[in-house]
Amino acid sequence: MGREEMSLHSSIGARGRTMYKLFVASNLAGIMGILYYRATNIPREGPSLRLLVWAAMSLSELWFGFYWLVTQSARWDPIYRSTSKDRLSNRFERELPGVDAFVCTADPWKEPPLLVIGTVLSLMAYDYPPEKLSVYLSDDGGSDLTLYALLEASAFSKHWLPFCRKFKIEPRSPASFFSTNPDPPLTSSQEWSTMKSLYEEMAHRIESAVSLGRVPPEIREEHQRLFSEWNSGTNSRDHPAILKILIGGGDSKAVDVDGCPLPTLVYLAREKRPGYPHHFKAGAMNALLRVSAEVSNAPIILNVDCDMYSNDSQSVRDALCFFMDEKTGSRTAFVQFPQRFDNITKNDIYDASLLLFTEVTNAQVIHFSCIFNIFSRPGSDPFSISICTVEFYGLDRFEGPLYIGSGCFHRRESLTGREYSEDFKGDLNGRMWSKPVGMVEELEERSRKLAACYFEENTLWGTEVGLKYGCPVEDVITGLSIQCRGWKSVYFSPKRAAFLGLAATTLNDVLVQQTRWSGGDFQILISRYSPFLCGPKKISLGLQMCYCIYCLWVPNCFPTLCYAIAPSLCLLYGIPMFPKISSLWLIPFVYVCISSYGYSLVEILCVGGTFKMWWNAQRMWMMRRVTSYFFAFLDFILKLVGMGEMKFTITSKVADAESETRYRNEIMEFGTASPMFILPTTLAIHHLVCWVVMVFRVVEKGIGVLDDLFVQAALCGFLVLISLPIYEAAFLRRDKGRIPTSVTSISVTLALMISFLAAR
């Protein structure tokens, strides 16, 4: 049998690319027609405002055309991967490498300990030799409540892991399993009921401790070694390194109720002191890298967010199919799985799944296959929704999908700053994992020093070794630097979601999150790590362009703001900025508009979405560009002049009952007087004023006045329609999720000022 037939994974390109490329060519022709019209129809007379707006809109359209071309690099030739886990088991079952799983949490109030241990237990229950699996929890909140929850989880795991093995259940997060399986199966009702009771009792103890804000005294007394560091009144910003090995470390009793060994389980709260930078999640990950090297030193590392539980116990084997492949495995640095969410509402009110840029993993329709039915992914399941970035399949063609911070399996060597070379063998199955030796206390003492706040002083940690410091998207910049050292990455989206997490449930959280992402990506673009500075001769031009899709998010705010303000403003004063409705020059404008929006609508409908989901995505597309991207640019300017510093905002994983009800009913949650809401509310009021004035003008002078202003009227009407939730929240709603009166007052004032200044 040939090497290709024996490969542990395979890939296939999308079919029907000819039709897609013809569509791209037609769009390009339309864009060129628009630019030609702008260049050859510059107004020679009329108010000075018209010439100024014409120039601004011309530059905006030029930018939109350029950015559209950049995005095609990731959509031009996508590939789709599959794995052969049976071959992996047949050839390497006895030589499987050790795996260290990292879970990061930072705030027990925003990230409840019960949620965190659900993720930990799901990883401990992987279908993988337990003696080769270690799970590390990094607690940047330094909370004894989190440690207490982990202690409870370690005891519960002795019952939970055998239960998972015996009945081969999925998912293996107990909270998720019992919520999706509320009734016991007939074949195992007694065991199911017993296990559910054990879990509910554990959950009650943990939640009671959290509500009281303290660990039960009897538990502290029984486990003095574990909680001794909290006796001196430590706090989350000032405490020594706390390292506790709850399972493993030479403990011969580390077995479950069936007598099978348990995975190693480690708690780490790295040292924090005033005056020492802690570098947020990147610092936590680097501390885990050092500590895990001392405790287990597994060659494969998985990192997940604390709310991103394992939904498929086989995903570790999927990843190993890429790492252990004889032909390409030695060059694979990391395998990125998509981030998916199990709390998305039916119509995805906040576009949290980014479905406009996503597709169904095994959909029968990719791009135009819904219309032409000519290229589909093999083994398709037409409407099984999976949230994953469409562009990542295109990045995979260049062997360079981004590292996005969660659901990613790494080769340890690639994270230690090592350059890839052709003589690197990457013999994972030759690095046999073994349990740490020595007494637990001795191992903890040796490892604790590696988490000291001063350990990284005068070292290459954060620059050449480990995750990069100084960037809000430490994951993306780290992945780029790894690829620039010669390594390749893989994007794999299995039929069953490998990980499921929680999407943000309030508008403010969504926009703040997008601000950090877009600002971090823009910072990469203008730094020495820019794809066009460090990438040439190291990564392909196509991959450099793919990175720019995200690095150029921030500059998109300016042409979007121009298009959101200028045409409506000119409509207010009867100044035409587009061809007449009777002109042939209207064709390229109409075609590009219809093809772009029609394409995105068909894409969403074909992956099992709804029209309302597409409509919500249009609204959020607009909001992200005029808020998150704009504020990310302001943050960048403030940092540039020394008036700001990098911040890392934790998205809350809890919400009050009223807010949760509004989210499930798909009512937008504003609530706070955030500056984020001022700009979209101002624009919404501006569009409404312009639309009302236009309607009165049509009533007074007849429909003929729209001959010159039809496109502007249509654009303004579209913006009014997508702003309906804003009008409702600003003027009609009385619940706590409405737009605060202060924000509405400021927005009305700004909207009137825009009209007044334009008139002047």
Helix intervals (H) in 471-583: 474-484, 507-525, 531-534, 541-551, 557-572
Give the C-alpha separation, 180 to 169, whole Å. 11
**Choosing from 305, 307, 312, 475, which is the catalytic residue?**
475
Dist. CA 249–CA 752, nearest whole Å: 68
Rounded Cα gap, residues 423 and 421, in angstroms: 5
Cα separation, 760 vs 566, whole angstroms = 15
C-alpha R_g of the chain: 28
Give the total residue count for the chain. Answer: 760
Which strand (E) or helix (H) includes residue 319? helix 315-323
From the candidates 100, 140, 312, 635, give the one annotated as an active-site residue: 140
**3-class state of residue 341 by DSSP:** strand
Cα 281 from Cα 468, distance rounded (Å)? 10
The β-bridge partners of 101 are 135, 302
Q: What CA–CA distance (Å, rounded) separates 155 from 151?
A: 7
Q: Determine whether 475 is an active site residue.
A: yes
Instruction: Classify residue 676 by its DSSP letter.
Output: G
CA distance 613 to 604: 8
d(CA 738, CA 725): 10
Q: Residue 190's closest CA among 218, 167, 220?
A: 167
φ/ψ bin of 45: left (φ > 0), alpha (ψ from -120 to 50), beta (otherwise): beta
Residues β-bridged to residue 136: 102, 266
CB atoms inside a 10 Å sphere around CB 81: 19
- Element containing residue 316 per DSSP (H, E): helix 315-323
The verdict on whether omega for the bond into residue 567 sits within 30 degrees of 0, i.e. cis, is no
Query: How many whole angstroms from its chain centre is CA 468?
Result: 18
How many Cβ atoms sit within 10 Å of the Cβ of residue 324? Answer: 25
CB 589 within 8 A of CB 29: no
Residue 735 bears catalytic tag:
no
Select from 353, 610, 593, 27 the least CA-distant residue to 602.
610
| Residues forming the active site | 140, 475
